[in-house]
Structure formats: C-alpha cells, structure tokens
Amino acid sequence: MDRDSDRSCMPAAATPYDVAAIRADFPILQRRVHGRPLIYLDNAATTQKPQAVIDAEADYYATTNANIHRGVHALSQQATDAYEAARAKVARFINAASTNEIVFVRGTTEAINLVAQCFARPQFAPGDEILISAMEHHSNIVPWQLACRQTGAVLRVVPVDDAGEFDLDAYAKLLTPRTRLVAVTHVSNAIGSVVPVRQVVTLAHDRNIPVLLDGAQAISHRRIDVANLDCDFYAFSGHKLFAPTGIGVLYGKEAHLERMPPYQGGGDMIRSVTFETAEYNDLPYKFEAGTPHIAGAVGLGAALGYVSAIGVDAIAAHVGDLLADATARVAEIPGLRIVGTARKKAGILSFTLDGIHPHDIGTILDDRGVAIRAGHHCAMPLMQRYGIDGTARASFSLYNTTADVDALVAGIHEVRRVLGG
C-alpha cells in the first residue's frame, strides 16, 4: 500500500473540470438499469465509489490485513500505520488542530449518539435545554430525545420559514441561560438548505454554549474548516464522501473529549484493567473500543485524496451549476412544487407533483434508469412543517452531468403523462 502519498487516489480528471474523466473513475456508472444507462441522483443518501477507493480497500485486505495497535508483527504495524495515516488525512481535510480530535465511528449517527451519551447525559440536569432546528435528520433528533429522557433536559426547536431558511432571529431568542447545547445540521439532507453555521456558533459561544454540527450532507458539498467554524463537535459519514459505508468521523475539541467518559468499553480503549476498575486510554482511542473498521478508514483516506485532487471548490461549483439548471427547468413543469427554496442550497432538489405520490414518481423514474429518493428522508417533522408526507428528491454530485438533468426532467414529464398529473 502507498501510505506516503495520495498518488493512488488521483482522479483522471484534468483542469478545467472534466466530468467525463471523473465519470470514468466510477465503475458503477457504466451499469444499465432496466435496459437504460444508470442516472444516479440519490447522492444525498449515499455516493458512489471511485476505483481508487475500491482499490485502496481491496489492497488493504490483499496485502496488509491485520489487527491494529496490539501487534508487534509486520502486518499489524503496517495496518496501524495505514489506519493512523487515514486519521491524519481527516485532520488535514477539515483543519483539526490535532489527530487527537478525530474519532473514528460508524457514521454521523454514531457520532451524534456518542456526544449525546458522553457529553450531554453525564452533565445535563432537569430543565436544561438542548436546541435543534426544524430541519434536522432523525439522527439529530432522537439521540437528544433519549438524552432528555435520561436527564430531564428539554428539547427546543428553531423554526424554519416557508423557503426552508433557518430563522436566526428566532434562534437568538431561544438561546437562554438554560441552553446547554446547540445541535444543528450544516446542510439539510431533505431540502438542501445551507444553515449559517458560523453565525449559529458565534451566537452560542457568546453565551458559552457549545455547538455540534451535523455535517453529513455538507462534507461533500463545501470546504469544511472546523478551526474557522469554531464548532465544538462536527460529525460526518464517509459513505457520503465517496468512501466505504460503516466509517465516519466525530471531530471534537480536545478539551471536551478529554472530559467526556468513554462511549463503549472493550479492547484498545483502556490502558489497564483489573476486576475492580479500568484506566482509559489516551485520545482518541478512549472512544474506539474493539476492532475498528480499518479497511473503511483506509478507504476514507483514499476518498479524501481523490476529492482533494479534484478540488472541493471545483466540485461545489459544478454541483451548484447542475442544481441551478435543474431548479429552473423543473420549476416550469405544471403542478410541480419545489420544497425548499432557500437562497443558499447545496445539491438537493426536493419536489412534489400534484395528485401523485412521491413513491410513484420514484418508481416511474427508476424504470427509466433514473435513481432518486422518495419519502420523508428521515426528516418527518420537516415534512409535517410543509403539510406533506414526503417529497421526491434528486441530489447531485461531482460525476453528474447536464444529460442527467435532461433525463430527470424528461422522466418527470413521463410521470405526468402516465399518471395524469
């Protein structure tokens, strides 16, 4: 394995943005579905994987597979080097101050649950308040509900307006001496709204309130600099950043992580154990009990190298152009309602069609090879805010093209023709 550089992660893409070359890096995009070329527009659920990531994970298993941190033999030491090199890549990618602030977890969901159980549960008391927004994914709602039941704390919700914009004025008023934590999404997975998180953090920190940001959708759409954001915690999943499933990251300021008790007990998170007590390991290993997803971490490192070689800003510009094109074109379709029209959005187009269930939209589009998501997108309270059961959601990524937008628009017209919308 090449652990000293990202050369194996370099895409075929050239400057200027070469989407055809990028598409060639993703084997699954050569597939046909129902006899038609695959048009993959479900990137908010998970992204496809470039050959560089597939190769990195396969190469790990073929040449390096061993357990980490506990072995003196060559394979164990090489596996440890690969795993820790991936942690260092994550730290650089999000500009963390130290690898001690990077905890590998299964994904955003586990990262948020870790903070709920290790940061909130030990110190929150009856009447304390946790502040979230109306556009949160269930993974940034339910863990806090559990923490509230365990501690007597209360969950408060920042509203969003009809366009899907985070209400900063209401947020400022909801911050009180009882607010002990703010936990909000960076980018809505359901409607694509970009939350002004820097202002969210500043307003909270002015009152000495820590902030967790759910970065599951933001991580593949914009440059993330946790030092600049000054957030206390940042959570994201590898599989939404072209990496394998089952690997994710919790960034936490070292001072917080040092004070937090461990999430799970087991091997590698301890320094010593007796039948009476245990001494916990240093950061970040205190939170990584048991054998981790080593190959997934290696794959995540490869994905970060791939994305960095193309350029996060170039990817964001490309996806922004696709979203603007798709938004303008579907807005002209009779009976179509765009759900979420915030001024700042990231790669997500959610919509309904009068009289047609989102699942029927998704089914007809699938028959044409177009993969979208249909339903409540694990954001049921937000759907209730708009008085709907769900939406059809097309979400764009670095390998999508204007031809994919053409296919989406043609497919929606076919839905209306077939179902009489």
Q: Name the amino acid, one letter, at 138.
A: H
> What's the fold here for domain 59-308?
Aspartate Aminotransferase; domain 2 (3.40.640)
Cα distances (angstroms) measured from residue 123 to each of 225, 236, 244, 256, 377: 28, 24, 34, 12, 32
pLDDT at 420: 82
Among the listed residues 84, 65, 87, the one whose alpha carbon sits nearest the alpha carbon of residue 75: 65
Q: Which residues contact 239 (CB under 8 A, 6 or more apart)?
A: 46, 47, 107, 245, 246, 247
Q: Is 40 helix (H, G, I), strand (E, B) or coil?
A: strand
The pLDDT score that the predictor gives to residue 5 is 38
Q: What is residue 71's predicted lDDT score, i.e. its pLDDT?
A: 84
Residue 364 tokens, joined: 């007809």
d(CA 286, CA 268) in angstroms, rounded, equals 8
pLDDT bucket at 421, cuts 50 / 70 / 90: low
Active-site annotation, residues: 378
Cα 12 to chain centroid, rounded: 25
Instruction: Report whether the peptide linkage leading into residue 284 is cis, meaning its omega lies within 30 degrees of zero.
Output: yes
* pLDDT score recorded for residue 4: 36
Average pLDDT over residues 242-252: 98
Instruction: Flag whether pLDDT at 11 surpasses 70.
Output: no
List CB contacts of 134: < 8 A, sequence separation 6 or more.
Answer: 157, 158, 159, 160, 381, 382, 385
The mean per-residue pLDDT over the stretch 325-339 comes to 97
Domain boundaries, the chain: 11-46+311-419, 59-308
Mean pLDDT of 215-240: 97
Band the pLDDT of 136: cuts 50, 70, 90.
very high
Answer whether residue 281 shows pLDDT above 70. yes
Tell me the two tokens of residue 356.
């047609």
Selecting from 3.80.30.10, 3.40.50.300, 3.30.420.40, 3.90.1150.10, what CATH number does the domain 11-46+311-419 have? Answer: 3.90.1150.10
Tally of CA atoms within 13 A in the half-sphere of 365 that contains its CB: 28
Q: What is the DSSP string of 345-412?
A: B-SEEEEEETTB-HHHHHHHHHHTTEE-EEE-TT-HHHHHHTT-S-EEEEE--TT--HHHHHHHHHHH
Contact call for residues 212 and 235 (beta carbons, < 8 A):
yes
Give the position of tokens 């979203």: 323
At 229, the pLDDT band (50, 70, 90 cuts) reads very high
